Structure 1
């Protein structure tokens, strides 16, 4: 009769359990949707400024930002029913979440810049904002 002398501790030896933990940790990092970097397929130019990528930190937004976006829309006569499905709300959210600044420290992204983007990029950014809101509500 043969005796199995292998230890049943794959984690201590770097076996499958360690790999599983590493994969799980990696998957958690990928699910962290609070920061999104959008890279343009073709650099986007608006009023002499060329943008190749934009970074959005959805997680930095606060209730104060939500109310400010809401108030801006109301001042323009826009009715807000459900923020996550209102394009202009998502645009306001994107402008506030964008972390990119010019040399003077001012935001490089505003509603006009967003509206001038190619539709594919515009939609991708809005969908990321919507996805963040929808996951936050679950």
Structure 2
């Protein structure tokens, strides 16, 4: 992981800054997410019922796909501010779920820096485009604009 200065971060605006490894979305991961969130809709957890939907099988929760951000960002070895004390999720400016992730598929994260801005003494707002690609499919699972606040 690279630790960058403010000037180095600013030079990355508009550039792709990382791509994660592929990870498998299996039924155990989907079921675990259902347990954690209480979202047991059958299209996620009941393969027999899900077989009769337009998806033809179970699919990952959209919020499961979105929540992979920290893990995929870590795998992509995204740069961090030099001297960072902590980073916190600040929110999202936009999120679109474009295609379902069928159980058994692999996904990866692709990250592009949109902006890096000083927000106060020792605080920086980092805005990334977060795209979750589905292996072998043209349309991504989601595109989100995600904002992190760093404290240095």
TM-score range relative to shorter protein: 0.3 to 0.5
Query: Which of the two has higher C-alpha Rg?
Result: 1
Tell which has more relative contact order, 1 or 2 (C-alpha 8 A, sep 6+).
2
TM-score by length of 1: 0.34
Structure number with the higher helix fraction is 1
Structure with the higher fraction of residues in strand conformation: 2
TM-score (structure 2 length as normaliser): 0.31
